[in-house]
Each structure stands twice: as C-alpha cells, then as structure tokens.
Amino acid sequence: MSPPNDAGPREWLHWLRTTDDEPVAIVRDVLSTAGWVVAIGLLLFAVSGVWPPMVAVESPSMEPHMSRTDLVFVMEEHRLAGDAARDGTGVVTYAAGERAGYEKFGSYGDVIIFRPDGESDRTPIIHRAHFWVEEGENWYDEANPEYVGGADDCGELAYCPAPHAGFITKGDNNGAYDQVGALALTGPVKPQWVVGTAEFRIPWLGWLRLQFAESPVDRPAPVRRSPAAGGPADGAVANLSAPA
C-alpha cells in the first residue's frame, strides 16, 4: 500500500526503497542496476582517461595474443607510459621494447588502438606499434624483410618514403605491416590518431558487445589481405562502443 496523500518526501522515499509492489520494485531494480553500470563506467574512465575504456576485438589478426570476442581495457597512452616510449607519444615500439625488455601481450612493444588515417568514420584498428619513421624517411632497410609483402625496395611499399612521421604497425597474426601493399590499411600512424594502449584482455566477454553492434550489412567490412599483399589474416578492429 502506498503512503497517504499527505505523506512527506521522506515517507515516499522510504516507501519507494522498501515496497514489494511489483511494478515499483521492477523499476527500482532497473534503476539500481543502471546506476551501478554508470558508476563502474565512470570509475573505469577515471582510471583509463579514455571513453569508452573497453573495446571488443572483432577479428583474428592479433592472435594468439588477442582473439575475436576478447574485451580489452584501454589506457590513455601517456598514463603509465613505459620508460622506452617514443618522446611525446607515450607509446613503446617493438624495436624499442626489444632493446629495453618491455613486453605487452606476449611480444615487445605496445599494442595501440588507432583510427586508420585519422578518419573517425572508419573502424578503429588494434595492432602493435613496430617502429617509428620520420617524414620523408626511407624505412625499407629498417623493416623486417618478412613483413614487406615481397617488396624489393622502398619504391614498392605503399607509404615509403614516409609521407609523414608516425608508427609502422602490424597485427601479430598478419604477414605484413599495415602500411604495405595495395591493400594497405593506413599510412604511418600519427600520435594524434592513437586512441590509447591496450592494457589487459578478458577472454570472451566482448561476445555480448559484438552481438549488439551494427549488423554485418551496416558494419564496415574487414580488410582481407591476399597472400601477395602480405598474408591472409584480417585487420584486427576494435569496437569502440561501451560494452553492453
């Protein structure tokens, strides 16, 4: 039974918190759950400095260190940056990580989430930063020859000489750098394109989030490399919506 009409705010509040009236109890539970979700989200944001702080991996290009449906916690790259981070970027490359003994997700260097070519309407990518190039640099000799897609010199690489300074990136399960071949995913990744660094993953928890993502018709199709372009694996993408 509800309080009398002349009851004050305190009586009504007490009734709303304690009543067994089914419609009110359902609404109360929904609001309570929503409040906890918002509180947890705000706490994660405060820690990570990135919104949303969790991303769901959509493809296998970071296997075996990340798998499709993994939920990954993302940190703003300048927070807790490694000592070997590239100046002003907060990102440790594979090359610098190898020298410093810095590892993340089973290999050297940071795994970064970035917007390809800085375009906000394209699905973000989650790949490892391998090395840094300066504008105009011929980076062919610095590259691992296994990951240049069979190119014989700088002129056969899509982004060599480098059109601007940035990171050369690659999925751990891919056979070529993202900046190589006719199906190159992006130019050298500028620091301002970086959303953050991947810090840890929770297996399978991203599955639910992916079910509520856009339908396959609406979602940008993953880029598939031909063997000539450097390997069969998809470009790993991260769904940047908050997990359901």
- Confirm whether 3 is domain-assigned: no
State how far the Cα of 20 lies from the Cα of 49, in Å rounded to an integer: 40
Residue predicted with more confidence, 234 or 116: 116
Residues 127 and 207 in one domain: yes
**Is the pLDDT reported for residue 208 higher than 90?**
no
- Confirm whether 197 is domain-assigned: yes
Over residues 135-160, mean pLDDT: 96
Residues 21 and 116 in one domain: no
Q: What percent of the chain has pLDDT over 90?
A: 55
Residues 231 and 165 in one domain: yes
Residues 16 and 101 in one domain: no
Over residues 65-90, mean pLDDT: 92
Band (2; pLDDT cuts 50, 70, 90) = low
- Confirm whether 1 is domain-assigned: no
- Confirm whether 4 is domain-assigned: no
What pLDDT is attached to residue 204?
Answer: 86
Residues 59 and 155 in one domain: yes
- Give the count of beta carbons closer than 10 Å to the beta carbon of residue 154: 17
Over residues 3-20, mean pLDDT: 68
Q: At what angle do helices 22-48 and 9-18 cross, to 10 degrees?
A: 90
Q: How many domains does the chain have?
A: 2
Question: Do residues 66 and 74 make contact, with C-beta atoms less than 8 angstroms apart?
Answer: no
What pLDDT is attached to residue 227?
Answer: 33
pTM: 0.77
**Is the pLDDT reported for residue 144 higher than 50?**
yes
- Confirm whether 2 is domain-assigned: no
Mind listing the pLDDT tens digit for each residue in 17-74? 777 777 767 777 677 777 766 666 666 667 778 877 888 999 999 999 999 999 999 9
Residues 187 and 232 in one domain: yes
Mind listing the pLDDT tens digit for each residue in 99-120? 999 999 999 999 999 999 999 8
Residues 15 and 85 in one domain: no
Residues 90 and 184 in one domain: yes
Residues 93 and 30 in one domain: no
**Which residues sit opposite 129 in a β-bridge?**
169
Q: In the predicted model, what is the mean pLDDT of the chain?
A: 82
The gap from C-alpha 94 to its chain's centroid, in whole angstroms, comes to: 17
